[in-house]
């Protein structure tokens, strides 16, 4: 036993040293990668927004998978600006975007939204889903079948939130049986998708406007007054704040 203890201590020291060395190498690689992207962005100039977004995204420790955009009032008609915000999110690596308004105006402009998205970023493979809580299934699924990254766009309104919960409650009461989490999950209109980590409310008043309540338990909320005054730098600031909050929460 007198011999085994020093051996174990030596092995522990070696393992700890190797793990620390590996982490240092990864941190150095991450730093060099960020520097490389910034240098390339400077060399290419400011006329390459896609490369700029990639360089900015490389600085963040955490990128949301799902972003929600809640539009109030006349903000639902600023489709070009809305498409720009979505293209920024896609450039950062966001793969799910939920567009929400109270009365379903965005649903009625589905083809216009898709057209503007294709103009803003032509190589992205969009799947646009207009949900229907009454039938408990997604309907009007539209895809543009491009070769780029796959992004799912949800078009949602009040009927998909509170309305969906009412439909689920009526159907469960008419079909008595064991109610569990798996059953409830299967009835959600956005089943299979992650909850939005970031939700941006656009316009006045600052409110969730009935956004899907089961999706925003842990969401970080941000508010902007208008799409007309929403610049890329503002979106960049939001994702930086989200990333910093995630780092603090993880410590």
Does position 27 have pLDDT exceeding 50, yes or no? yes
Does position 84 have pLDDT exceeding 80, yes or no? yes
Instruction: Give residue 34's pLDDT band: very low, low, confident or very high (50, 70, 90).
Output: low
What is the pLDDT, as a whole number, of residue 22? 80
Distances 159 to 49, 72, 102, 113 between C-alpha atoms, Å: 37, 16, 8, 20
Q: Write down the pTM of the prediction.
A: 0.71
Least confident of 10-24, 34-48, 76-90, 128-142: 34-48
Question: Please, what is the end-to-end C-alpha distance for the chain in angstroms?
Answer: 38
Per-residue pLDDT tens for 108-150?
A: 999 999 999 888 877 888 989 887 655 444 455 656 666 678 9
Q: pLDDT: is 174 or 76 the higher one?
A: 76
What is the C-alpha separation between 174 and 170, in angstroms, rounded?
Answer: 6
What's the mean per-residue pLDDT of the chain?
Answer: 80
Does position 218 have pLDDT exceeding 70, yes or no? yes
Averaging pLDDT over each range in 50-54, 116-120, 179-183, which range is the top one? Answer: 116-120
Q: Which of 104, 70, 101, 103 is nearest to 85 (CA)?
A: 70
Q: Which of 17, 91, 84 is nearest to 52 (CA)?
A: 91
What is the pLDDT, as a whole number, of residue 48? 46
Distances 54 to 39, 66, 97, 195 between C-alpha atoms, Å: 12, 17, 18, 24
Instruction: Give residue 164's pLDDT band: very low, low, confident or very high (50, 70, 90).
Output: low
Distances 86 to 112, 194, 222, 223 between C-alpha atoms, Å: 14, 17, 15, 16
Distances 19 to 5, 14, 27, 28, 61 between C-alpha atoms, Å: 21, 9, 12, 14, 20
């Amino acid at each position: 036993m007198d011999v085994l203890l020093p051996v174990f201590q030596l092995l522990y020291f070696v393992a700890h040293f190797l793990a620390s060395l590996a982490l240092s190498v990864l941190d150095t690689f991450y730093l060099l990668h960020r520097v490389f992207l910034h240098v390339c962005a400077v060399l290419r100039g400011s006329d390459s927004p896609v490369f700029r977004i990639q360089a900015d995204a490389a600085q963040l420790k955490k990128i949301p998978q799902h972003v929600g955009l809640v539009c109030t009032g006349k903000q639902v008609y600023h489709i070009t600006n809305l498409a720009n915000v979505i293209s920024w999110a896609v450039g950062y690596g966001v793969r799910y975007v939920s567009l929400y308004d109270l009365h379903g105006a965005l649903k009625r402009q589905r083809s216009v939204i898709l057209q503007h998205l294709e103009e803003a970023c032509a190589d992205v493979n969009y799947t646009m889903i207009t949900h229907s809580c009454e039938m408990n299934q997604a309907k009007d699924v539209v895809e543009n079948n491009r070769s780029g990254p796959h992004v799912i766009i949800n078009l949602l309104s009040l009927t998909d939130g509170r309305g969906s919960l009412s439909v689920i409650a009526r159907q469960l009461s008419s079909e008595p049986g064991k109610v569990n989490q798996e059953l409830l999950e299967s009835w959600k209109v956005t089943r299979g998708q992650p909850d939005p980590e970031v939700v941006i409310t656009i316009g006045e008043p600052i409110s969730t406007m009935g956004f899907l309540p089961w999706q925003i338990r842990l969401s970080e909320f941000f508010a902007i007054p208008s799409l007309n005054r929403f610049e890329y730098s503002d979106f960049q600031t939001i994702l930086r704040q989200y990333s910093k909050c995630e780092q603090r929460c993880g410590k």
